[in-house]
Amino acid sequence: MSEQASDSPVHIRLDGEVLVVSIDNPPVNALRQAVRAGLQEAVERLERDAAVRAMLIVGQGKAFIAGADIREFGKPPLAPFLPEVLNRMEAAAKPVVAAIHGPALGGGLEVAMATHYRLALPGAKLGLPEVNLGLLPGAGGTQRSPRLMGALPAAELMLSGKHLSAKAALAAGLVDKLVEGDDPLAAGLACVRELLANGAPLRRTCDLEVADKAAALAALEQLAVDTAKKTRGLFSPGKIIECVKAAVQLPFAAGAKRERELFLECLNSPQRAGLVHAFFAERETAKIPEAKAAAPRHFAKLAIIGGGTMGAGITVSALDAGLSVVMIERDAESIARGQKNVEKVYDGLIAKGRMTAEAKAATMARYQPSTSYDDIADVDLVIEAVFEDLEVKKAVFKELDRVCKSGAVLATNTSYLDIDAIAAVTSRPQDVIGLHFFSPANIMKLLEIVVPAKVAPDVVVTAFELAKRMKKVPVRAGVCDGFIGNRILSVYREAANHVLEDGASPYEIDAAVREFGYPMGPFQVSDLAGGDIGWATRKRKAATRDPQARYVEIADRIAERGWYGQKTGRGWYLYPEGARVGQQDPEVLAIVDAERAKKGITPRAFTHEEIMRRYMAAMVNEGAKVLEEGIALRPLDIDVTFLFGYGFPRWRGGPMQWADMQGLPKVLADIEAFAKEDAQFWQPAALLKKLVAEGGNFASLNQR
């Protein structure tokens, strides 16, 4: 029987002598203010009600408690605060037990660590993933976890953001007991009754000492050095280690005070804002207009046309999602190579001990190689990944139209080509869609779902369902040259070329971009992907290029020499004997100088900040154009595209979020200043001007 206001997300009732506290805040029982208030009320009842001998906390639905309510960060704080509620709970003179059956993350695990006994059911997932949001555990988690599991394992858990299974949590000392079944209430009540019957003593985590303090401090020193190298530019990891040191060196209350100070520093940092934006944006992109009106078509069997780099990677993704695949290639030799490309991925996993030969055989049993289109008459969905040539793709789609069953979804993995034109060669444009995977397709999370004019809504929804099955992050895009990502990329890459020709070296530009937080700069990326790819695109576009537009020929000069990057041993960098990290090449600098001289350009110096202002202004301006043309639904779709497909630093939230955080007037002022040098390239987007005039921001457009 509920003895509380029915609208409270915390149900408190007495079961015999046990106060059962059930958290009921769907979908994941986040600790919003009303939940904290409910918990506090329960603790007060525990303290004052003589009929209560113990308290049990359980979560309703699929989670125990997934942590603080992330939507509350950045808003004025609302009492009661979790650390105080938990300290009071831990101090209670009667036992408190947590029975964990699903995610117990962040503040959720902090609740559990402040109880006196913790049970875990098979589906439990325990972790302190605050680092992924630019935070640290702020409700005693940095002080209690080292006391339970040891300083180094606790720090590693917090730095990795990893979730532990029930078994792993038991081994780590985070929980006291594993119980079978899926009913946390029954298991929890049985445990509480046993504890009461045995007169088990209270065990307060805050009273424990961290084990082996001297060794722990030495290990933390080393961890701090390693972490600073590994998490370049990130703010909260170093603070997490500071908190763990405090846990080793200080009494609980003093350590918790230090944790609060550092938590607030993290909370107020721009990195927290960027990372929280990324968290929600990643979950929003699947919310598309078509989903309201249509259901996905059934699919179980796929055809992949082409077994090259992309076709093989997509095949692996499909097989890993439990789907069956018929791969089609041009001839016997090509299909043998295609199959080898697929098997290479699994053999790599076997070599690393991450797959067994039996599992590979079971997976490959769902794979069928073929050189005949007649073998795909019964497939539900086709993904074409042949050469990037419109005529070749049109020929393939004519074949698909001929052989595929009615209602089959026909997708192309083109990077740039006009999907409306591809759809038009079929008798069923309503079934044709773009599925733009990124390389390596079995690893990269981004999937641009490109929606041509005539496609049926249920095909779009099917594509999103496929993304979900393949564990990809889908982004809805419209048809244009390069869709969202590659279209914007080609513009800021051009801005980088301008800076190169005007005076910065490729090595300075790469360094500036890395300093901003990217793992690699654009010239390193070009060397990795192969300079021939961009060269081919430039040649394809040469006929339609505006002769008035500035064109930087330096990359062509490099490619003409056959310097395609890593695969040829040199590109923008030198890669002696297959080295993967390039060395600066004086000959490249000489080519750059010669090209400048040819155009009469006197090179000037650029600071890293000046380089990035141009790089980012070009990115944001083109992003705004992509939005005003409806190619992207919302700014967050652009952000997610860059976070998951282009290595944009997650802690900056994405380019549009970055622009909001800079202030749009500042970005527009930069573009207008650059336009004085090159008015054709730097044409401010109408949407950007409108937002600045209205005092608006991109975030306001995410609410659609």
Query: Binders of ligand HSC among 336-375, rule CB under 6 A?
Result: none
Q: Is 139 in the site for ligand HSC (CB under 6 A)?
A: yes
Residues 6+ apart with CB under 8 A from 212: 150
User: Of ligand HSC, ligand NAD, none, which one does residue 595 interact with (CB within 5 to 8 Å by kind)?
Assistant: none
**Rounded alpha-carbon distances, angstroms, from residue 247 to 158, 174, 255, 431, 698:** 14, 16, 5, 60, 41
| Residue whose CB is less far from ligand HSC, 163 or 487 | 163
Residue type, 91: A
Q: How far is the CB of 665 from ligand HSC (least distance, A)?
A: 31
Tokens at residue 81, please? 């605060």
Q: How far is the CB of 585 from ligand NAD (least distance, A)?
A: 24
Q: Is 303 in the site for ligand HSC (CB under 6 A)?
A: no
Q: What is the contact surface with ligand NAD in residues (CB under 6 A)?
A: 305-311, 328-330, 334, 385-388, 392, 396, 413-415, 437-439
User: Of ligand HSC, ligand NAD, none, which one does residue 415 interact with (CB within 5 to 8 Å by kind)?
Assistant: ligand NAD
- Tokens 């520093």 label which residue? 265
Q: How far is the CB of 162 from ligand NAD (least distance, A)?
A: 30
Q: Is 290 an annotated catalytic residue?
A: no
Which listed residue (9, 141, 188, 313) binds ligand HSC by CB under 6 A? 141
Quick note: the x/- pattern for ligand HSC over 398-437, rule CB under 6 A, is ----------------------------------------
Dihedral angle, C-alpha 307, 311, 316, 318, nearest 10 °: -120
User: Of ligand NAD, ligand HSC, none, which one does residue 414 interact with (CB within 5 to 8 Å by kind)?
Assistant: ligand NAD
Mapping DSSP onto H, E and C, the string for 564-616 reads CEHHHCECCEECHHHCCCCEECHHHHHHHHHHHHHCCCCCCCCCHHHHHHHHH
| Residue whose CB is less far from ligand HSC, 73 or 698 | 73
CB 279 within 8 Å of CB 179: no
Rg for the chain, CA atoms, rounded: 29
Q: Is 103 in the site for ligand HSC (CB under 6 A)?
A: yes
Catalytic residue among 41, 130, 242, 329, which? 130
Dihedral angle, C-alpha 527, 530, 536, 542, nearest 10 °: -10
Q: How far apart are CA 77 and CA 684, in angstroms?
A: 39
Residues 6+ apart with CB under 8 A from 644: 282, 438, 444, 445, 446, 473
Q: Is the peptide bond before 103 cis (omega within 30 degrees of 0)?
A: no
Q: How far is the CB of 384 from ligand NAD (least distance, A)?
A: 8
| Residue whose CB is less far from ligand NAD, 530 or 696 | 530
- Report which of 260, 242, 277 is spatially closest to residue 158, judged by C-alpha positions: 242
Residue nearest to ligand HSC (CB): 106
User: Of ligand NAD, ligand HSC, none, which one does residue 385 interact with (CB within 5 to 8 Å by kind)?
Assistant: ligand NAD
Residue type, 340: K
Which listed residue (235, 252, 263, 516) binds ligand HSC by CB under 6 A? 263
Strand order in the sheet with 446-451: 367-370, 324-328, 301-305, 381-384, 409-412, 432-437, 446-451, 473-478
| Residue whose CB is less far from ligand HSC, 19 or 136 | 136
Sequential DSSP letters for 191-240: HHHHHHHHTPPP--GGGSPPSSHHHHHHHHHHHHHHHHHHTTT-SHHHHH
Q: Is the peptide bond before 122 cis (omega within 30 degrees of 0)?
A: no
# chain residues binding ligand HSC, by CB under 6 A: 30
| Residue whose CB is less far from ligand NAD, 63 or 382 | 382
Residue nearest to ligand NAD (CB): 308
Catalytic residue among 90, 110, 290, 448, which? 110
Quick note: the x/- pattern for ligand HSC over 23-62, rule CB under 6 A, is ----xx-x--------------------------------
Q: Is 384 an annotated catalytic residue?
A: no
Tokens at residue 549, please? 């537009």
| Residue whose CB is less far from ligand HSC, 31 or 463 | 31
Q: How far is the CB of 317 from ligand HSC (least distance, A)?
A: 19
Query: Binders of ligand HSC among 269-288, rule CB under 6 A?
Result: 280, 283
Residues 6+ apart with CB under 8 A from 292: none
Write out the catalytic residue numbers: 110, 130
Q: In the complex, which residues of this chain contact ligand HSC (CB under 6 A)?
A: 27-28, 30, 63, 66-71, 77, 81-83, 103, 105-107, 110, 129-130, 133, 135, 137-139, 141, 263, 280, 283
